[in-house]
Structure 1
């Protein structure tokens, strides 16, 4: 009798283990989108929005007659098909922005038409914008500005490619009235798809991870800060 119960118990355990193994194998066959939906249906994610793919056509239409830089379109492809929003650099995600955030600074059409928001910069509401500085340069050569959730606005990169280099630091940008900067705390954990992003960036643009984001920001500000601050002051006065 005891022997029969032991054999029955072992059989049950093996059956359950087999089901678990099969489930893991089946999960591996699911599409990336399906796996993300399952992940975000877990209790700890129940109040978070499920990341969705960026519709490139909708993104282009949102920019009107201005051509979207090739580097940005390629990044959207990467985010859609290789990684996901916020999974390749902490706090960062390409987004389709309706300029509602910009309008909190100024609703002047001449202000809004020079700024092209394209990405979430951190988890607290800051966002990245390409600034058309009025020169004849193509959009992929225009400087990038961060608009902070606490009010600061700062040049952070000379162009979109420099911004991609900047976010390889894999930390959320901090923005206050005086400066924009990156730092990693003691509990830093590498983003899930950082290595994929670095591989993609190296293959497409020959760039490696930066260890000194402050140098990228300083170089961009040396070239563009004075001009941007002067232009920005025409529309928004810091109190």
Structure 2
């Protein structure tokens, strides 16, 4: 078993069955064994994937003590700074991954970039159509049309709780949002 989250175990099986990226820069890592570059957060996060080829990380945020970890929010921990809520739960993140857009973040914000516009000569994730079909068959989910809207909605819904938790630990994560 890869993780205590059935959906991540299924995703691991899918990833092991393809020979290339199915989402730009996305790659599962040992569940919960990394701190995503933020050791002060390690007791409340469970990193599970590289979000980009440069080292940004996705992590489950242990917002509360609910048993189903797949229903907890997902954070993006930027390799050059920035910590952001990008999905309200794991299924929402899977929809973002299926979009084929790639995350970029700094301290101020997170932005998903549509790399598909550059696909004329290079496809950054040739297995994405297979992933989309898998996501539809396994979970009945479709790709997010606009991953930025997903991230903004998650951030808006969870912003106060996020700022209250992370502000004392990583002040830069909330300083530019006027909530520090």
Q: Of the candidates 122, 131, 141, which is equivalent to residue 197 of structure 1?
A: 131
Comparing 130-139 and 115-124, the one that deviates more: 130-139
Corresponding residue SS for 1:216? helix
Corresponding residue SS for 1:230? helix
Distance in 2 (CA, whole Å) between partners of 1:93 and 1:136 is 26
Corresponding residue SS for 1:140? helix
Q: What aligned pairs does 1:57-72 form with structure 2 within 5 A after superposition?
A: 59-60=2-3, 68-72=4-8
Judging by fraction of residues, say which structure has more strand: 2
User: How many pairs align?
Assistant: 168
Corresponding residue SS for 1:156? strand
Runs of 4+ in structure 1 displaced over 3 angstroms?
A: none
Q: Which runs of 5+ in 1 are unaligned?
A: 1-55, 61-67
Distance in 1 (CA, whole Å) between partners of 2:69 and 2:62 is 7
Aligned to 1:175: 105
Judging by fraction of residues, say which structure has more helix: 1
- Structure of higher CA gyration radius: 1
> Contact 1:106–1:236 at 8 Å: present in 2 too?
no
Q: Which runs of 5+ in 2 are unaligned?
A: 176-180
| CA displacement 1:10-45 (0-9 Å, x = unmatched) | xxxxxxxxxxxxxxxxxxxxxxxxxxxxxxxxxxxx
Higher relative contact order (CA 8 A, sep 6+): 2
TM-score under structure 1 length normalisation: 0.65
How far off is 1:140 after superposition?
0.9
Q: Please, what is the CA RMSD of the aligned residues?
A: 1.9
TM-score under structure 2 length normalisation: 0.85
